[in-house]
Amino acid sequence: MTGPNRGRVRRPRGHTATVAIIVAVAVIAGALPAAGGCARAPEEPLALRVPWVAGEISVLTIQSAADGRVVGTWELRVEAADPGPGWVLSSFLSAEGFEERSSVRVGRDDLLPARVDYELRTADGTATYTALYAAGKATLTADVFGKRQKATVKLPDAPYFDNEQFVTTLRALPLAEGWSRALNDIVTRNATKARITVAVTGEEEVDSPAGTFRCWVVELKGIGQTAWIAVEPPHQLVQYRNAQSGLVMKLADYSASGE
């Protein structure tokens, strides 16, 4: 799920054991608590409800929260994996100074990630990486401004989701009044992981270029980001706000061709 904190890729300095794709355009990546620490009590199984169909496209405008100025676009796509079963959840973000693309192949029902392909283009150059999920770890191979890098991330117990699919995955959660759950976020773009608490704090009617929707207000606790997810199926992402960046994304167009 990448979202637009505008920024730049910082060139890696010296030797590093992690993939040095430190990008300020991440939705989830940023100042996050590290995963791990004390043992947690067992949690109830996470009952996902996939609301989309293959061929779905959502287009959001990226606006300045201060003056409403449009600074870019964000396109989210859902396609059937080939070969199946599964889905490919794609994101394309275009704004002044950079373009960012990602695609995540996930399981059909559990949405667990299997592969991530990522590309960022800026005036400084291009950063790409591929992440493969298997055997309890995510293995990354990256090319950051022509410098090859590799890293691995040990995976927590399932469920876990890649950062590049996180926003789309919010739509499949069993959202309801007062619902809250800590989720494992694997931030493959910088080879880290974190626990993100997702909480429904109420309902709001939201106006967007695509229409007016009754939405769940979904807060990502501790990172200053909020999503508005349509209450009615297919539970579109209607609005997304990043308080740190001062940007708001609003749904401008939605289409679903069906399977």
Greater confidence (29 vs 50) lies with 50
Q: Tokens 């355009």 identify what position?
A: 25
Mean of the per-residue pLDDT values of the chain: 85
Residue 3 lies in a domain: no
Tell me the whole-structure pTM to 2 decimals. Answer: 0.85
Tokens standing for residue 135: 């055997």
Report the greatest alpha carbon distance in the chain: 50
- Residue 229 and residue 56: Cα distance in Å, rounded? 16
Q: What is the pLDDT of residues 11-49, one digit of tens each?
A: 333 323 223 332 333 443 433 333 444 455 567 889 999
Which pLDDT score, from 0 to 100, does residue 33 have? 37
Tokens standing for residue 163: 């950062």
- Residue 101 and residue 118: Cα distance in Å, rounded? 6
Rg of the chain taking only CA atoms, in angstroms: 17
Residue 148 lies in a domain: yes
**Other beta carbons less than 10 A from residue 5's beta carbon:** 18
Tokens standing for residue 84: 């199946």
Residue 224 lies in a domain: yes
- Residue 29 and residue 91: Cα distance in Å, rounded? 15
Residue 5 lies in a domain: no
Residue 7 lies in a domain: no
Whole-number percent of the chain with pLDDT over 70: 83
Q: Tokens 């870019």 identify what position?
A: 72
Residue 169 lies in a domain: yes
Q: What is the pLDDT of residues 200-236, one digit of tens each?
A: 999 999 999 999 999 999 999 988 899 999 999 999 9
Which pLDDT score, from 0 to 100, does residue 13 have? 36
Residue 16 lies in a domain: no
Q: Which run of H or of E encompasses 167?
A: helix 166-170
Which pLDDT score, from 0 to 100, does residue 30 have? 36
Instruction: Label residue 72 by pLDDT band (50, 70, 90).
Output: very high
**CA neighbor of 186 nearest in space, from 116, 91, 95:** 116
Summarize the confidence of residues 89-105 as an average pLDDT.
93
Q: What is the pLDDT of residues 125-163, one digit of tens each?
A: 999 999 999 999 999 999 998 999 999 999 999 999 999
Omega before 12 cis (within 30°)? no
Q: Total structural domains in the chain?
A: 1
- Residue 5 and residue 105: Cα distance in Å, rounded? 24
Summarize the confidence of residues 109-121 as an average pLDDT.
97
Domain extent for 234: 56-255
Residue 64 lies in a domain: yes
